[in-house]
Amino acid sequence: MTTALLDPLAPSEDGVWSCAGVQVRRRRNPHHRHAAQTATCTTRFCVQRYGEVLLVDHDLTPDELSDDLAVLLADELVDSGAVRGQAEFELVFTGVVRSTVVGGLASWARFYRNSVARLEEGTAAFAPIHAFAAGQVRGRQVVDLGSCFGFFPLRLTQQGFDVLATDLSAPVMRLLAEMSTEMRRPLHTLVCDAADVPLPDGCADTVTVLHLIEHLPTTSITAVLDEAVRLARRRVIVAVPYEAEPRACYGHVQRFDPAALHALATATCSAHPGLTARVHDHHGGWLILDR
C-alpha cells in the first residue's frame, strides 16, 4: 500500500469512507442497475464517475474482508476499466474495508483476522507462498523487507520467530503495530527504504523479500538485494510472481520468469563472493541465497 494520502485509520462516518476524490459506500438495499453510461455495475460493485470524483458502492459483508479482496477488485473493477491505476485501487481497497465494519481499528482487525486465518488454513490465494517461505527460514531472527500489511511476519511470530517487519509506508507500519498488539502476536516494525535499512551487518539469520522487487526499477532491485545480503547471516529468501504482464494496479513494474531469476542469481553471486543461489518455481518464482 503506497498511496501517499492514504491513512487507513482516518475517521469516517458509518458505512462510508472518503479520501482523495474516492468515496466508497456499503450498499444495504437491493441493487438497481444504473442507466448512466458512466456507471459500471458488476456482481458486487457499482462504480460511477462524476468529474474527478469516483463513487463505489458494494455489498460485501464483514466475513468477506480479507487479503483476497485485492483479487476481487482487480477482476471486477480494474479489468472492466472502472478503477484506474494503483492509487485508485488502493483507495477503493481501503474504502471497502472501512465501510464494511464500523470503526477504524475494528474494521482492520476483522480484515486482519480473516486474512491471517485463511492464509494459515491454506484457503487464501497467497497461502502457498507464505507456507513455502516459512519452510525456508533458517535461524530464529528474521527481517522482512517490504512487509506491507505484514501477514507473513505475523505468521512467523506465531511460530516463535523473532521478527522485524519493515516498510516504506509509516501508516501501514502503524497499522501493523496496532494489529500485532490486537492479535497478541508481538513483533517489531521499522519504517525504512528496503535499500537502506538502518541496522548493522548480519543482524538477522534470514532476510525475506516476498513479492517486493516486482514493484521496483531495475537499479533498485540490485540495491535491495545487496542490502538483504548485508543484513543476513545465513539466508535471503526472494519471491516474485510470474505474470504475462506486470499488474499495474498492484504497483508491479517488472516481469519475472525463470530465466530472469537465474540471471539475477548469477549477478548477485558475482557481486557477493561466497554466496550460493538456488532458483525454484512454486506459485511463482523463488531465489534462495545462502552464505
Q: What does R_g of the chain's alpha carbons equal in angstroms? A: 20
Instruction: Provide the pLDDT for residue 52.
Output: 87
Mean pLDDT score of the chain: 94
**Each residue of 71-104: pLDDT tens digit?**
999 999 999 999 999 999 999 999 999 999 999 9
Q: Which domains does the chain have, with CATH numbers?
A: 16-105 (no CATH), 126-290 (3.40.50.150)
3 has pLDDT over 80 = no
pLDDT of residue 51: 84
- Helices in the chain by DSSP H: which ranges? 69-73, 85-100, 104-121, 127-136, 151-158, 170-182, 218-231, 258-271
The average pLDDT across 258-285 equals 97
> What digits encode the pLDDT tens for the residues 166-200?
999 999 999 999 999 999 999 999 999 999 999 99
Residue-level pLDDT at 36: 64
pLDDT for residue 1 is more than 80: no
For the CA atoms of 192, 197, 199, 203, the dihedral, rounded to the nearest 10 degrees, stands at: 120
> What is the pLDDT at residue 4?
46
Q: Alpha carbon 16 to chain centroid distance?
A: 23
| One-letter amino acid of 194 | A
State yes or no: pLDDT of 35 exceeds 70.
no
